[in-house]
């Protein structure tokens, strides 16, 4: 596997790493440019804050049965479900398999 990676990196650097880094920078900029918390004029938490962004993401994960919410001492805790753990593993394996297929393809030709 290591030999295939070295061979592939010599042939062509992996642009997906650069794309991933660019995506992370864009996500960070969107997050950075928002305030963490803000109260609306009616006293409720304002939308568009980083806390609200994170809350919406976890709410979506809960609707998909990827996390469960546990409240202890008045604090919410999000626990990943077995379904979420399996999904992450499958996604990782699929990504690794795709990368290996790309590495092997030039060697076979």
Section 24-29 average pLDDT: 69
pLDDT for 101 equals 82
Separation CA 51–CA 58 (nearest Å)? 11
Q: Domain segments of the chain: what residues?
A: 2-33+64-108, 35-63
Residues contacting residue 69 through CB under 8 Å, at least 6 positions apart: 58, 62, 76, 77, 78, 79
Confidence of residue 8 (pLDDT cuts 50, 70, 90): low
Global pTM value: 0.53
For 45-94, write each residue's pLDDT tens digit: 666 777 788 888 889 999 999 999 999 999 889 999 999 999 989 988 88
pLDDT for 105 equals 74
| Cβ atoms < 10 Å from Cβ of 67 | 20
Section 17-42 average pLDDT: 67
């Amino acid at each position: 596997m290591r030999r295939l990676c070295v061979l592939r990196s010599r042939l062509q650097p992996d642009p997906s790493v650069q794309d991933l880094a660019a995506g992370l920078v864009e996500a960070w900029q969107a997050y950075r440019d928002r305030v963490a918390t803000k109260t609306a004029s009616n006293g409720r938490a304002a939308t568009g804050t980083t806390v609200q962004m994170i809350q919406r993401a976890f709410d979506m994960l809960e609707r998909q049965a990827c996390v469960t919410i546990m409240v202890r001492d008045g604090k919410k805790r999000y626990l990943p479900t077995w379904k979420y753990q399996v999904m992450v593993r499958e996604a990782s394996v699929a990504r690794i398999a795709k990368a290996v297929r790309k590495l092997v393809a030039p060697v076979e030709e």
